[in-house]
Amino acid sequence: VMKRLVLLIVLIAFSQAKMFRQPIEQKDWQTDTDYLWFTQDLDHFDMQNHETFQERYWVNDQYWSPKNGGGPLFLYLCGEWTCSNVKPGSYVDHLAKEHGALLVVHEHRYYGMSQPRKDWTAENLKWLNTDQALADIANFATTISENLAKKHNIPVKRWFVIGGSYPG
């Protein structure tokens, strides 16, 4: 009986996983060129340092509507690699669709095109640490949420953060 139950659970899991592997049609999603730039503080903790850099991000609002206060805000932290927009049929896309969420993808400092400095000398890498990265996310999420609230006359929203590995 136990073997049959385990087999049944495995078969159900495999059959349900199919919905996350739907073919991707290019016309249905924004390309990686549809990114935006956020002006981020280089050092969140040195009040004498007013330097900034550009952090790349994407906004996918295809499932979100500001009517009635808008749906939830999902912040996808893609981690320590070059980011891209979320692809249709992916788990994150499925969650956004299911909940009518605004989906924002944030690229980590020093990865992809979000480079605070032109070279990676030891001196220039001193801002690559978890304290700065967490402060980046807090600053980014607060600013985006406040801008959405002003633009659409909705309450400032809290975020649901999605990520794996170091950013999750």
Indicate the CATH number of 35-163 among 2.60.40.1580, 3.40.640.10, 3.40.1160.10, 3.40.50.1820: 3.40.50.1820
Q: What are phi and psi of 120, to 5 degrees?
A: -105, 50
% of the chain beyond a pLDDT of 70: 80
Question: In this predicted structure, what is the pLDDT of residue 155?
Answer: 85
100: closest CA among 63, 130, 50, 57? 63
Q: Which sequence spans correspond to the domains of the chain?
A: 35-163
Structure tokens at 55: 């952090």
Q: What are phi and psi of 28, to 5 degrees?
A: -90, 0
Could you read off the pLDDT of 88-124 as tens digits, one per residue? 899 999 999 999 999 999 999 999 999 999 999 999 9
Q: Are 67 and 43 in contact (CB under 8 A)?
A: no
- Compute the mean pLDDT over every residue in the chain, rounded to the nearest whole number: 84
Whether the per-residue pLDDT at 6 is higher than 90: the answer is: no
Query: For the whole prediction, is pTM greater than 0.85?
Result: no
Structure tokens at 105: 């993808």
Place of tokens 């309450």: 155
Question: In this predicted structure, what is the pLDDT of residue 112?
Answer: 93
Could you read off the pLDDT of 129-156 as tens digits, one per residue? 999 999 999 999 999 999 988 988 888 8
Question: In this predicted structure, what is the pLDDT of residue 34?
Answer: 87
Question: In this predicted structure, what is the pLDDT of residue 20?
Answer: 40
Structure tokens at 28: 């249905």
